[in-house]
Chain A
């Protein structure tokens, strides 16, 4: 599904190399987790894959379902089935949550040559999905993320994911800021979307999210590289001992 080879990325504005050769392959139907110290480049990787401006790709490639991602605009990557749940969802005053999501859903459908969703069908679907995530009608009407609590913003990200039904989902610290109950809700939302055709890349610092969303593969990222890959036990090891041992071992 998602294939990244030797990806090296520096900032456009300054001469700072952030990703120093990332190799990663997420197969359809699998959940991969990425852990790693603060500042190791996890969010940068997710931004570069999603098409954010400000980065220069100096080497390497990234494909989704065989298509070159790096050549595409952000919206084209989304239409291709890539989704990023942001570490810091953006507030957009004046744009209603519903309007935004309907515009997004239909823009993607249009880009794929599919028929647009009618207002009534959209409403039905979003209401049902919002309900399972305990997002109330009032929140749907409010401007995108404005005045949402940290946890509400994260739930809103998952709602968007559920509505857009992407093929490849990248979740950047979706667990941060969630209380225990919200963590469960969000995980259930994610698990409901797990299927044979969909891949997940879950960025997290904590095992407790992985208790709910069981990963198939765990990667450790440090200083712009994937330095170690293993099974779920790798996350347990990080939880117990931190990164010191792993980093010493690969150094």
Chain B
């Protein structure tokens, strides 16, 4: 008990130094309620079970640790696609670089504008999935986000949207500390693809809440990196209606610390939720995928596919759970988390979990960690492929199952191209 009280005290001290962004009535109410939840649960600490493998201190401390601004000198990802660009520089919306916030089949608004209003439809979603996602495991940094987010987008998708919405992040100030929150609501039968890329800030706390109504489809492709010194915590909350589809893929290269949480709830029958990630880490890289999928309806499918390539002492973490609620019969749940360790200094820490309260389900999970297959490597080399290129082919082969989760072939090629060029640069 003493520990809890102490943490609450520390949390209060930290929060007292912060100012809640100016908000109209609905947002002010939400933020206030969230703050009292947050004060109750306290910010994450190292001894918390859910933070066993990842140190939260640099994410919770008052000041963002500085991170050098990283210029790649190459065209940003998704540049060749026709899309609606929404640009944030160090967490601040940049009107000049952004496209008109409009498109066929959807409406887009800045969160900063939406929260100023006294009444807004976003009230039914903003912080709502987040609050629900606090049970059974607390996610204080998501509550922190709901309370303090300064901007983001609020998207209402009413039809099948052809052009992807591309959230582009840019990092310009060395110690920037950004908190963004996106809300996406898909009406029945609606479809949209949301892309995210770019280094966001020295420290980035981002939430995305997505409500996918019956028969709607949400596609999400995200690339994090190559800003090496950043620290980021992101939460992706999703609610799936009947026969809806939710597919999210994240590519992560570099990053001192990245914690990506995905919290998905299948609430309507015959829904499909896939969440996947591939990451490449080198040196002082720490990447944590924490996933919680809840089946609360009949005949739903969920897949978690996470692949991590680690070298030079990099660390990968996976905490993944499939929870099948009573009555969620005919659930088809799959979870795989694997790491490819390119040397003995790197490590992979995995906690795969299944919790099932229905009897007619098919759930499987697997977690492996291994070095490169020497026989395969020799086979490639015996055909004349130099060792470094052969290793990279094996790396591409290893991450393939995750990358294949990207449904659009064009986007998949874009991701593959990015992976290949990262590997090529390492080869020098």
Q: Which residue numbers of A lie inside 8 Å of B, CB to CB?
A: 50-53, 73-75, 77-79, 84, 86, 89-95, 99-101, 103-105, 107-108, 111, 143-144, 160, 164
Contacts and interface: CB of A to CB of B under 8 A. Distances in A.
Given A51-B382, A93-B400, A100-B393, 8 more contacts: A52-B378, A75-B384, A75-B386, A95-B394, A95-B396, A95-B397, A107-B385, A111-B386
A90 B385 contact: no
A104 B383 contact: yes
B377 to A, nearest CB: 9
Given A73-B381, A74-B381, A75-B381, A92 B387 contact: no
Nearest to A105: B384
Contact of B379 (A53, A90, A143): A90
A103 B375 CA distance: 18
Given A92-B394, A104-B380, A75 B375 contact: no
23 contacts: A50-B382, A51-B381, A53-B378, A73-B386, A75-B386, A75-B387, A78-B384, A90-B376, A91-B376, A92-B379, A92-B394, A94-B398, A94-B400, A94-B401, A95-B393, A95-B396, A100-B380, A104-B380, A104-B383, A104-B384, A107-B384, A111-B386, A143-B397
Contacts of B382: 50-52, 74-75, 77-78, 84, 86
Contacts of A107: 384-386, 389
Give the residue among A79, A86, A92 with the most B Cβ atoms within 10 A: A92
A241 to B, nearest CB: 35
B66 to A, nearest CB: 39
Contact of A164 (B375, B383, B387, B389): B383
A104 B390 CA distance: 9
Given A78-B383, A103-B393, A108-B384, A92 B378 contact: no
B16 interface: no
Contacts of A75: 381-382, 384-387, 390
Interface string B69-96: 0000000000000000000000000000
A99 B400 CA distance: 14
B390 to A, nearest CB: 8
B49 interface: no
Interface in B385-427: 385-387, 389-390, 393-394, 396-401
B124 interface: no
Contact of A92 (B376, B386, B399): B376
Contacts of A93: 397, 400
B309 to A, nearest CB: 12
Contacts of A111: 384, 386
A77 B381 CA distance: 9
A86 B379 CA distance: 8
Contacts of B375: 90
Contacts of A74: 378, 381-382
Contacts of A103: 385, 389, 393
Contacts of A160: 383
A100 B398 CA distance: 15
B380 A92 contact: yes
A51 B390 CA distance: 15
A160 B380 CA distance: 11
A164 B384 contact: yes
Nearest to B378: A52
Most chain B CB atoms below 10 A, which of A51, A73, A104, A164: A104
Contacts of A77: 382
Q: What 10 A-B pairs have minimum CB-CB distances, sorted nearest first?
A: A94-B397, A78-B384, A94-B400, A108-B384, A74-B381, A104-B383, A90-B379, A95-B397, A75-B381, A92-B376
Contact of B397 (A52, A53, A92, A105): A92
Contacts of B383: 78, 100-101, 104, 160, 164
A93 B380 CA distance: 13
Nearest to A82: B382
A164 to B, nearest CB: 7
Nearest to A81: B384
Nearest to A145: B379
A223 to B, nearest CB: 25
A205 to B, nearest CB: 22
Contacts of B394: 92, 95
A104 B386 CA distance: 9
Interface in B214-243: none
A77 B383 CA distance: 9
Contacts of A53: 374, 378
A101 B394 CA distance: 14
Nearest to B375: A90
B121 to A, nearest CB: 44
Contacts of B374: 53
Contacts of A101: 383
A199 to B, nearest CB: 17
A55 to B, nearest CB: 12
A89 B384 contact: no
